[in-house]
Amino acid sequence: MTSAHNPEVTGSNPVPATDRDGAGYSAPSRASSRSASCATRTRWQPLERSRSPLPPPTRLAGVASGCARGGGTVANKDVVERLSRVPILSGCSKKDLLTIAKAIKPVRHAAGSVVATEGEPGAGLFIIDSGEARVSIGGKTVSTLREGDSFGEMALLDGGPRTATVTAKTDLSLFVLTEWVYRGLLAEHPSIAIRTLEAVAARLRRATKNATS
């Protein structure tokens, strides 16, 4: 109790004050000092002997083994398998698909929500992992997108705004590939550009056919 209120106490084995003078506490006797010092050394020696280097940090298993999806993770192997079925990525090797799997961002949209809006800037390529989406131009439905289909290619190619509005018909799970990653892939794999143009051309043909029918 005395040490808790004594500003002069600095050790774990405080020595009780003996006499008080005008300047404060007087020094304890020499014998008391030797006894306290010996007790302190005896108490700390076992701690010094037991001290050992800390083990090196270890890498947590699975930290980089997948990409975030909602509140959990999706193994890259599973994502690669899904991406291999996407037409515009059919020219990629498994190594390339693994690179894409690490770069894409999984997102979800509830049924009825708008994923992309006609006329607004586009900065990503969307690939449907599961669910269905409705594509409309000028308020008129022109097509339905399903698992493996993609949209947003045209905005990536020319940097222009979205050419159509995409709305989730059902709960929708998507993979989003950002513009800078996509353009890097095009530089290394020109075949992806060909697949992209084919997808855009096919979509334009369907849209034209539906608009004139």
C-alpha distance from residue 179 to each of 12, 18, 27, 182, 185 (Å): 63, 79, 76, 5, 10
Q: Could you tell me if residue 89 is inside a domain?
A: yes
Is 90 exceeded by the pLDDT of residue 186?
A: no
Note whether 19 and 85 are same-domain residues.
no
Total domains, the chain: 2
Q: Could you tell me if residue 60 is inside a domain?
A: no
- 0.75 exceeded by the pTM? no
Using one digit for the tens of pLDDT, what is the confidence trace for 73-97? 345 788 888 888 888 787 778 888 8
Q: Could you tell me if residue 21 is inside a domain?
A: yes
- Which of 9-23, 44-58, 104-118, 179-193: highest mean pLDDT? 104-118
pLDDT interval class at 21 (50, 70, 90) = very low
Note whether 142 and 187 are same-domain residues.
yes
Range of the domain at 41: 15-50
Interval 48-53 mean pLDDT = 43
Q: Could you tell me if residue 23 is inside a domain?
A: yes
**Tell me, what's the pLDDT at 49?**
44
Query: To 10 degrees, the CA torsion angle through 181, 187, 188, 194?
Result: 100
The more confidently predicted of residues 8 and 149 is 149
